[in-house]
Copies of this chain bind each other. A is one copy, B any other.
Amino acid sequence: MEISQPEGVWAPALTAFTYRFEVDTRGTISRLHWLLQNGCNGVVVFGTTSEANSLSAVERLHFLNEAVSSGIDPGRILVGTGCCSLPDTVDLTRQAVRLGCAGVLMLPPFYYKAVTDDGLFLYFAQLIDAIADDRARIYLYHIPPISQVPFSLALIEKLIRSFPEIVVGIKDSSGDWEHTKQLIERFAGSGFRIFPGSEKYLLPAVQTGGKGCIAALANVASPVLQEVYRRRQSSKADEYQAEVDRRSAIVRKYPIIPALKSIVAEETKEPAWRNVRPPLVPLSVAQGETLIGEWREVDR
């Protein structure tokens, strides 16, 4: 079987919760289908925006199985599988590979801080050895503002050199375009697939050798992002990116996850979409109303 090679616009999909904070499997899967029919080339389940680390490993395994059973092409799913503990990471990754998913998006183990590149390399080497499946495709998840554990350029290089068929890409959520640019210049030539983690860098990324973006805004503006991706060679590409930027500026005035959920709640007329699991909190009613007002101004 050919393993799909992600490109274009991927949404780190929001997770719906009931009022009792249980995962709303049906509601979440229904949104995944909507995203894939409305401008997303693919979806990431269990990203930061998905509140994945507020889910247990058992909840993640259950949800993943249900999502694939619902008829979504697993080639359009990347699965966040990086936990603090190697056994949990192995279990989740193994299941994602078994189901034929496009790959896994992998946080480094993020509890201990100031760990060494040697320790992180060993973690990935043991993981790949335990998975023992040449269909595994790992996308590194670099998000130092949250994980506080970065992938250094030296570590990325060593992982690519050691596991060239397995470690095939990265999501760069450093928020720093210079860093993404450096990754592209250094690694894209050999086929390494680089996705900025912000919608703001979609156009510069795909114009210089990146493959697309995996960006929170895709949860509520995937058609607009898709326009940038499709017309990346057009003389008007900058104008399409400006449309993205206007939307990005609005949601990023608020805590991003509750802000996106407020918009989805409004669009779907399902207020439960506003629910987030603690320690996150929803927007206040007043914040939510202001956001929706601003969003309607820009998104029409």
Listed in ascending order, the chain A residues whose CB lies under 8 Å from chain B are 21, 48, 53-59, 83-88, 91, 108-113, 115-116, 118-120, 122-123, 126, 145-149, 277-281
Contacts and interface: CB of A to CB of B under 8 A. Distances in A.
Nearest to A118: B281
Contact of A120 (B53, B113, B278): B278
Given A59-B87, A84-B84, A116 B54 contact: no
A48 B88 CA distance: 18
Nearest to A91: B56
Contact of A109 (B86, B122, B279): B279
B278 A109 contact: yes
A125 to B, nearest CB: 8
This chain: copies in complex: 2
A187 to B, nearest CB: 22
Nearest to A281: B119
A113 B277 contact: no
Contacts of A118: 281
Given A21-B126, A126-B21, A87 B279 contact: no
A88 B56 contact: yes
Contacts of A119: 278-281
Given A56-B83, A111-B146, A122-B279, 13 more contacts: A21-B86, A53-B85, A55-B85, A56-B88, A58-B87, A59-B85, A84-B84, A86-B278, A113-B146, A113-B148, A122-B278, A122-B281, A148-B148
A66 to B, nearest CB: 17
A110 B122 CA distance: 23
A165 to B, nearest CB: 22
Nearest to A21: B126
25 contacts: A48-B111, A54-B84, A54-B85, A54-B109, A54-B111, A54-B112, A55-B87, A56-B85, A56-B87, A56-B88, A56-B91, A59-B85, A86-B278, A109-B279, A112-B146, A112-B280, A113-B146, A113-B148, A115-B280, A116-B279, A118-B281, A119-B278, A119-B280, A122-B281, A123-B278
Contacts of A110: 111
Top 6 A-B pairs, shortest CB-CB distance: A53-B111, A119-B279, A123-B278, A122-B278, A56-B87, A115-B279
A21 B123 CA distance: 11
A53 to B, nearest CB: 4
